[in-house]
Amino acid sequence: MCLTGDQPVLRHDLFMGVHLAASTIALESMRRLLNYVLIALLSLLIIILWWPVNDSDCNSEAILASKTNKFQVQASKVVVQPWFGEHHVYGIFMVPDEYKRSPFFVLSVKGTNNECSRPFGYSQYYDGIYAEPGTHLVRDYMRTRTALRLILQGFYFHLNNTQNWTLTFPQPKAN
């Protein structure tokens, strides 16, 4: 124990002060590192969401601009729930049976890029919707990251509107 004036100062108190200063510096260093990690993760997320993806060998713009006859159908139902993960943003379309053998179709959602898809199955029932006689249902998906980007830009209600979703089929060849 040291005496300074009328107040005794314990060496333990001096040690605790130095220890407290060292732990404060370590805490600040950890906070700074955490900030850098969070900024890096946020930057990566932004790059992933806004990076264009074009993995289709079909040119949707050329198909839509061509003068050939096409068949278009609006969505009967739209599901937009990207927070549940992949395959939770899609439209359900009622398509005449003559288009079952179509080699591809183009999904257009107003305000987004058009995407070519190849048919990979159809059904008579999806999510409470039954196909009418002479038709079948097609469920076509929008990329989750595209939907998330549009939602972050304020287009959630736009995406949920069935009038904004269209499938375009080339006219089937006569047998």
Q: What is the pLDDT along the chain (175 residues), one digit of tens a residue?
A: 555 556 655 555 555 555 666 677 778 888 888 888 888 888 777 766 666 555 555 665 656 566 777 888 999 999 999 888 788 899 999 999 988 888 788 888 887 778 887 777 778 888 899 999 999 999 988 888 888 888 888 899 999 999 999 998 887 665 5
Give the SS3 label for residue 136: strand
Q: Are 174 and 104 in contact (CB under 8 A)?
A: no
Q: For residue 155, give both structure tokens.
A: 């287009």
Question: What's the pLDDT score for residue 14?
Answer: 52
**Residues 76, 7: Cα–Cα separation, whole Å:** 83
Q: pTM above 0.85?
A: no
Q: Which of 55, 169, 154, 164 is nearest to 108 (CA)?
A: 164
60-170: CATH topology = Elongation Factor Tu (Ef-tu); domain 3 (2.40.30)
Burial 69-98 (b: 16+ CB within 10 A, else e): eebebebbbbbbebeeeeeebbbbbbbeee
User: Burial level of 151, CB count in 10 A (0-12/13-18/19+)?
Assistant: middle
